[in-house]
Structure 1
Amino acid sequence: MKLATLKDGTRDGQLLVVSRDLRHAAIADAIAPTMQRVLDDWNFHAPQLQALYEALNQARARQAFDFDAQACMAPLPRAYQWADGSAYVNHVELVRKARGAEMPAEFWTDPLIYQGGSDDFIGPLDDIVCASEDFGIDFEAEVAVIATDVPMGTRADAALGAVRLVMLANDVSLRNLIPGELAKGFGFYQSKPATAFSPVAVTPDELGETWREGRVHRPMTVHWNGKRVGQPDCGTDMVFHFGQLLAHIAKTRNVRAGTIVGSGTISNTDRAKGYACIAEKRMLETLEDGAPGTEFMRFGDRVRIEMFDANGKSIFGAIDQAVAPVEGAA
Structure 2
Amino acid sequence: MQNINWIKLFVIGLFAYTLLALYLGVSDLKNSISYLPHSFWLFSLISPLSVHLILSLRWHFFLRYLQCNINYFESFSIYLPGLSLIAAPARSGEAIRGLWLKSRFNLPVSLGISCTFVERIGELISALIIIIWSLYFTNFFSIPILLFFTITCSYFFHHFKIIKKLTIFSKNLHFYNSKFLQRKIFKNASLLVDKVNTLCLPYPLALSVLLSLVAWLIEAYLLYRVFSFLNVEIAFKHSALIRTVMGMGGVISFLPAGLITAESTGIAMALAYGSGRVEAVAATIFIRIYTLFIPFILGLFSYSFQKDIRFSK
> TM-score normalized by structure 1?
0.24
Which of 1 and 2 has higher RCO (CA within 8 Å, sep 6+)?
Answer: 2
Structure exhibiting the larger radius of gyration computed from Cα positions: 2
Could you say which structure has the higher helix fraction? 2
Could you say which structure has the higher strand fraction? 1
> TM-score normalized by structure 2?
0.25
